[in-house]
């Protein structure tokens, strides 16, 4: 009897040691960065925003210009550089009439991203944008929303506007481990301060 | 001999029990890297937001209720500080497919209703050459996507009539010919019969105050509106038919669906 108990204890100990007590269903680590990183020799040379700063949440980043992927999705900065924000080049330049789109990660590479606290913005908060023509623009948050990605408000975000506006977009909501993706987007709508 | 063995087994059993007891706490702290936001006090699930509104209407209907996501009525009002809990898998399985691996020498084009768009070509060896398409004029580019320099963008504009839903274009990448498809955004069916309520509508010059869904104006020639200053280098000579059927879209291509800006989404590693 005691021998059986001892054997059981030994088997249990062995099992625990073998699994390392880790969570077997933990998501896989992100894939290694592509070694095929191509230097940017031909960046967008037109009028463009150069940096974004959101004092309330302590977010500050230069802005790279991104467009779309071959699959038609909006291109985003590498997850390896989650503190990098981006301007969607197929949207207006901030300060021009229309909705200028600025993107940032909520997290990445196991760290908080540049827009980790974007959801905390409320009406009246300030967003500053600098451009390569030397202009410093100040936007004021009009509202912050969180929407499921499959109900993304295309018209509200990308539709024409009659004044210079800003849309700050990041991920939010529940993290779906199976999809390796957040279920929602957080969108901040801001207006240019004349 | 028996006693030390028994003690050893006892110690092992005690250790095992202790480990089992501590394991959940340990994994809650560090186990899941993807849930890092949740560990730092304010998880992204608890969002102190107001609403999402339908388009630009000033009447933002605030819905301070907590509950399930709103029905897909153009927008989805969200909640105040509500913690969304376990709506995990069922609603999302079809939303974000896993990222595809990089494929070189492929391309695609997207042109909106107003006849403007972009061609995207994956070419890791450098800028593609011999970009050619029958129905489009390349007005700017190539520009590298600054998030991934393997992708090259060309701003395009329809010349003449829109050929249909799709057309092809070609290029050369590292001395290898490539071919891709261009998608032309199609107007929703109900917009084809535009009611012309006022018979004496003055043919005013185009302005930029058109809401996104309307199609009252029909631009015929390009008008130098706001953001065209850098793009019109090659197409500035002579009247260029936009070919589009809609007023100029300020966002030249509106990606479908949400944006992947979270850990492990479609963002590139």
The tens digit of pLDDT for each residue in A156-187 reads 999 999 999 999 999 998 888 887 789 999 99
CA-wise closest residue to B19 among A23, A7, A24, A21: A21
Which H or E element spans position A155?
helix A154-158
The three-state secondary structure class of B34 is helix
List of chain B residues whose C-beta atoms are within 8 Å of the C-beta of residue A87: none
Which H or E element spans position B132?
strand B129-133
Q: Is B98 on the interface with A (CB under 8 A)?
A: yes
Distances (CA, A) of A143 to A57, A139, A188: 15, 12, 6
- Min CA distance, A164 vs chain B (Å)? 11
pLDDT at A32: 32
Spatial distance between the Cα atoms of A51 and B79, rounded to a whole number of angstroms: 31
pLDDT at B7: 61
Spatial distance between the Cα atoms of B80 and B76, rounded to a whole number of angstroms: 13
Q: Is the ipTM of this complex over 0.85?
A: no
| Arithmetic mean of pLDDT over chain B | 58
pLDDT at A180: 79
pLDDT at B59: 31
Instruction: Please state at what angle helix A2-19 crosses helix B2-26, rounded to 10 degrees.
Output: 40
Q: How many CB atoms lie within 10 A of CB A48?
A: 18
pLDDT at B188: 76
The three-state secondary structure class of A128 is strand
Pick from A13, A97, A155: which is nearest to B226 by CB?
Answer: A97
Spatial distance between the Cα atoms of A156 and B56, rounded to a whole number of angstroms: 6
pLDDT at B263: 57
Structure tokens at B29: 């702290």
pLDDT digit string, tens, across residues A58-107: 999 999 999 999 999 999 999 889 999 999 999 999 999 999 999 999 99
Chain B residue nearest residue A153, CA to CA = B75
pLDDT at A179: 77
The three-state secondary structure class of B190 is helix
Question: How close are the terminal C-alpha atoms of chain A, in Å?
Answer: 85
pLDDT digit string, tens, across residues A111-122: 899 999 999 999
A66 in Cβ contact with A74 (< 8 Å): yes
List of chain A residues whose C-beta atoms are within 8 Å of the C-beta of residue B15: 13
A vs B: CB pairs below 8 A: 390
Chain B interface disruption, residue of A111, A151, A168, most B CBs within 10 A? A151
What is the pTM for the complete model shown? 0.63
User: DSSP secondary-structure letter at A120?
Assistant: G
Distances (CA, A) of A132 to A50, A167, B33, B196, B225: 6, 19, 37, 44, 20
The rounded average pLDDT for each run of 10 residues, N- to C-terminus, in chain B (269 residues) is 52 45 30 31 33 32 30 33 32 40 94 93 96 92 95 94 88 97 85 47 35 33 32 33 69 86 46
pLDDT at A160: 96
The three-state secondary structure class of A123 is coil
pLDDT at B256: 79
pLDDT digit string, tens, across residues A16-66: 332 222 222 233 333 333 445 789 999 999 999 999 999 999 999 999 999
pLDDT at A151: 93
Spatial distance between the Cα atoms of A158 and A51, rounded to a whole number of angstroms: 21
Q: How many CB atoms lie within 10 A of CB A132?
A: 15
Judged by CB atoms within 8 Å, which residues 99-118 of A form the interface with B?
Answer: 99, 101, 103-113, 115-117
List of chain B residues whose C-beta atoms are within 8 Å of the C-beta of residue A34: 102, 268-269
pLDDT at B225: 32
H helices, E strands: number in chain A: 2, 10
Q: Residue B201: CB partners within 8 Å, gap ≥ 6?
A: none
Q: Is B208 on the interface with A (CB under 8 A)?
A: yes
Beta carbons of A175 and B262 less than 8 Å apart: yes
């Amino acid at each position: 009897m005691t021998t059986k108990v001892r054997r059981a204890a030994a088997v249990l100990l062995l099992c625990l040691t073998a699994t390392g007590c880790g969570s077997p269903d933990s998501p896989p680590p992100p894939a290694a960065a592509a070694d095929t990183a191509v230097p940017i020799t031909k960046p967008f040379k037109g009028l463009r925003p150069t940096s974004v700063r959101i004092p309330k949440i302590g977010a500050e980043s230069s802005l790279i210009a991104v467009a779309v992927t071959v699959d038609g999705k909006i291109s985003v900065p590498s997850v390896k550089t989650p503190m990098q924000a981006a301007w969607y080049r197929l949207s207006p330049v901030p300060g021009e009439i229309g909705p200028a789109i600025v993107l940032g990660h909520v997290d990445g590479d196991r760290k908080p991203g540049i827009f980790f606290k974007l959801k905390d913005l409320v009406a009246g908060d300030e967003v500053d944008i600098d451009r390569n023509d030397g202009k410093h623009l100040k936007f004021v948050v009009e509202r912050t929303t969180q929407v499921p990605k499959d109900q993304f408000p295309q018209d509200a975000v990308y539709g024409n506007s009659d004044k210079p506006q800003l849309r700050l977009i990041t991920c939010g909501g529940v993290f779906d481990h199976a999809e390796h993706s957040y279920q929602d987007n957080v969108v901040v709508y801001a207006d240019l301060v004349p | 001999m028996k006693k030390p063995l028994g003690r050893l087994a006892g110690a092992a059993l005690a250790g095992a029990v202790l480990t089992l007891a501590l394991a959940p706490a340990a994994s809650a702290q560090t186990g899941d890297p993807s849930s890092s936001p949740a560990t730092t006090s304010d998880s992204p699930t608890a969002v102190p937001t107001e609403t999402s509104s339908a388009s630009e209407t000033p009447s933002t209907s605030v819905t301070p209720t907590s509950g399930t996501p709103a029905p897909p009525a153009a927008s989805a009002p969200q909640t105040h500080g509500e913690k969304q809990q376990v709506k995990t898998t069922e609603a999302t399985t079809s939303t974000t497919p896993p990222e595809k691996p990089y494929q070189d020498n492929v391309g695609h084009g997207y042109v909106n209703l107003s006849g403007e768009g972009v061609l995207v070509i994956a070419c890791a060896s450098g800028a593609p050459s011999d970009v050619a398409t029958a129905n489009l004029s390349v007005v700017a580019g190539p520009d590298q996507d600054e998030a991934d320099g393997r992708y090259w963008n060309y701003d395009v504009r329809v010349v003449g009539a829109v050929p249909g839903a799709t057309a092809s274009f070609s290029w050369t990448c590292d001395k290898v010919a490539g071919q891709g498809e261009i998608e032309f955004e199609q107007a929703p069916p109900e917009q084809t019969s535009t009611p012309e309520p006022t018979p004496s509508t003055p043919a005013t010059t185009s302005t930029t105050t058109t809401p996104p869904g309307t199609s009252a104006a029909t631009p015929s020639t390009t008008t130098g509106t706001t953001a065209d200053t850098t793009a019109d280098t090659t197409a500035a000579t002579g009247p260029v038919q936009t070919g589009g059927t809609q007023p100029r879209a300020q966002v030249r291509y509106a990606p479908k669906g949400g944006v992947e800006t979270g850990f492990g989404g479609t963002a590139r590693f």
